[in-house]
Amino acid sequence: MENLDTQDRKILNALQRDATLSLDALADLAALSRNAVWRRVKALEDRGLIRARVALLDPAALGLGLSVFMLIRAGAHSPDWSARFARATREMPEILAAYRMTGDLDYLLHARVADMADYDRLYQRLTAKVEIADVSASFVMEEIKDTTALPL
């Protein structure tokens, strides 16, 4: 982050809040010309600091009102099992994030489903694809903070 100047930080913060901002709006925020902002955004993309520009959808409006965190204890610790588990999680669109963890449990999954019955279908499909020693699920009752914006 030490290679980011004030204008780069302003551009990145603005794009994290709203990736649809025009070059003119970004130029105003960063106190730069439109062309200078375009060059900076292009450079930030080329450096990999901007990975993608996406639309954030409202899960509840799309019928995916139940957020669940699944704590997984691996069924095995072989490279083959790990590869099958990674493939299974990537193939299931309900699983938004999958992390290999330290500590007592091996993996943490975040999923979005319609309801408990939908979660059960997800659980059944996952356990049919790969042997899992233990699954524990926690369901979100209230989303206090949910952001994709990184602190700059």
CA dihedral 140, 109, 87, 53 (to 10 degrees): 70
pLDDT by residue (tens digit) across 10-41?
999 999 999 999 999 999 999 999 999 999 99
Name beta bridge partners: 111: 68, 95
Q: Nearest to residue 117, comparing CAs of 108, 125, 128?
A: 125
Q: What is the CATH number of domain 66-139?
A: 3.30.70.920
pTM of the model: 0.89
Alpha helices for the chain (secondary structure H): 6-17, 23-30, 34-46, 79-91, 116-129
Residue-wise pLDDT for 37-90, tens only, equals 999 999 999 999 999 999 999 999 999 999 999 999 998 899 999 999 999 999
Phi and psi for 24 in degrees, rounded to 5?
Answer: -65, -40
- List the chain domain ranges: 6-46, 66-139
Q: Is residue 135 predicted with pLDDT exceeding 70? A: yes
| pLDDT score at 74 | 94
Question: Which CATH architecture is the domain 6-46 placed in?
Answer: Orthogonal Bundle (1.10)
What is the mean pLDDT of the segment spanning 99-126?
97
In the chain, what are the helix, strand and coil shares in percent, each to the nearest 5?
Answer: 40, 20, 40
In this prediction, residue 1 has a pLDDT band, given cuts at 50, 70 and 90, of low
Using alpha carbons, list the distances in angstroms from residue 109 to 3, 5, 14, 140, 142: 33, 35, 29, 13, 18
